[in-house]
Amino acid sequence: MLRSLVGSEMCIRDRYQRRVRGTPNHTNMGCGSSASDSDDLRQLLGPELMTKDGARPTLEALAGKQHIMLYFSAHWCPPCRGYTPQLSEAYAASDKKESVAVVFLSSDKDQAAFDNYYADMSFFAMPYSDRNRKEELSSKYGVKGIPTLVLLDAGGTLVEQNIRGDHGKFL
């Protein structure tokens, strides 16, 4: 019992020190984020994410992130078209991009609509072709309408169901 309490105290101290220094959680695989967290993220979001520079391995794109925001949206949705520019501008101007990621999950009707809509965003996107995974994530996080902005921790665990309008607290 004492050994586990000491270990927990050390993990808390290590997490605090990493946060203060800005060191990614995955640098100490014995505490906090672990190799299995990485595997979980890859399973959750797929092997690659779209960036403004093309496809990039998910784990590389999300390395060192403390929070991941999943943005469920679509071009055909008027409230989304109102909120997307706000979120994109906030993310582009954020000094926390090294520790926070936003990933767009599209409910657009086709690849062309996705491409057109994503062109104006400043963050990552799940490839449009991964429709099954997008539907699974919608179900997993209880997305009933769009726009929805789900907040996850570094390991992909749900922190808050919908922070739409409150993204500034994390950016």
pLDDT value of position 19: 43
Averaged pLDDT, 95-116: 97
- At 39 the pLDDT is 67
Average pLDDT over residues 112-139: 97
* Model pLDDT for residues 39-57, shown as the tens digit of each residue: 688 899 999 999 999 999 9
What is the C-alpha separation between 84 and 145, in angstroms, rounded?
15
Question: What is the arithmetic mean of pLDDT over 135-144?
Answer: 96
Long-range CB pairs of 113-117, under 8 A, 24+ apart, other chains included: 113/74, 113/75, 113/76, 114/75, 116/75, 117/73, 117/74, 117/75, 117/84
Please state, in angstroms and rounded to a whole number, the distance separating the CA atoms of residues 126 and 129. Answer: 8
Residue 59 makes CB contacts below 8 A (sequence gap 6+) with: 38, 41, 42
Average pLDDT over residues 117-122: 97
pLDDT tens by residue, 54-71: 999 999 999 999 999 999
b/e sequence 82-110, b meaning 16+ C-beta within 10 Å: ebbeebbeebeebeeeebbbbbbbbbbee
Quick check: 38 pLDDT over 50? yes
